[in-house]
Every structure is written in C-alpha cells, then in structure tokens.
C-alpha cells in the first residue's frame, strides 16, 4: 500500500487489585487478563468472572486508544465489580504500545486510498 495506514494501540492488563468486601465470583487479588490488539489472553488454568468481564469489555477499546491527557479515560483506571454484593476492584493498565496497519485489521479501504 502506498499510503501510511499505521495506527497505534495500547496493550492492556486488567487485574483484580482490591477487595472491598466479599469476592462473589471467586476471583483473587492478582488474577488478570491481557489485551493485545483484538485478542484477550490469560494465564493457563486461570479464569475470569463472566459478569465482570462483560462490564469491562466496553471500556477496553477506548482504553487501548491514545486519549487527551485531561480525558477521564486517560486518568481513571480502577473499576468496581458490577455486582453490588461483590467487593472486587479491577484495574485497567496500559502496558505498552503496538503499531498496527489498517490494511491488516479491516476489510474496508481507507477513504481516498487506491485499490
């Protein structure tokens, strides 16, 4: 491709960092998963609570992208478990950056790109 179609995303680590009460889904402090590009991975033999994952998923694509320094997505990283009876706190941390190419991630051509 003749034009530069690169973009940058952050890799993320989502970790259980605190217990403010009873851990309802048997998560443990230190449990985590990682997001690299569009892939979620976790250590062998470790699970992650389904409902907590469902609550965290909508935040991850925004957290992967560079944001303005004053944007709350830049500064805020701790998320409470969505279960009001659970005390788990999850932290979304940006770990490193990754350069990707639009042509390898999308079936749509960039506007103005030659076929």
Per-residue model confidence as pLDDT tens for the chain (115 residues)? 445 889 999 999 999 999 998 888 888 999 999 999 989 999 999 989 888 899 999 999 999 999 999 999 999 999 999 888 999 999 999 999 999 998 888 888 888 776 5
Question: What are the tokens at 3?
Answer: 């034009």
* Burial of 59 from C-beta contacts in 10 A (0-12 / 13-18 / 19+): middle
The strand pairing partners of 92, in sequence order, are: 14
Question: Can you read off the two tokens belonging to residue 5?
Answer: 């179609």
The predicted model scores a pTM of: 0.86
pLDDT score, position 114: 65
Name all contacts of 61-65 with Cβ < 8 Å and 24+ positions apart. 63/10, 63/12, 63/92, 63/94, 64/9, 64/10, 64/11, 64/12, 64/35, 65/9, 65/10
| pLDDT attached to residue 39 | 94
| pLDDT for residue 99 | 92
- The half-sphere exposure of 83 on its side-chain side, counting CA atoms within 13 A, is 21
């Amino acid at each position: 491709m003749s034009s530069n179609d690169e973009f940058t995303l952050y890799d993320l680590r989502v970790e259980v960092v605190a217990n403010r009460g009873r851990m309802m889904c048997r998560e443990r402090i230190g449990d985590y998963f990682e997001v690299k590009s569009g892939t979620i991975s976790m250590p062998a033999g470790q699970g992650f609570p389904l409902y907590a994952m469902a609550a965290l998923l909508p935040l991850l694509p925004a957290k992967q992208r560079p944001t303005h320094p004053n944007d709350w997505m830049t500064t805020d990283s701790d998320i409470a478990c969505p279960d009001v009876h659970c005390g788990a706190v999850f932290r979304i941390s940006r770990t490193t950056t990754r350069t990707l190419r639009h042509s390898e991630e999308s079936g749509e051509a960039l506007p103005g790109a030659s076929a």
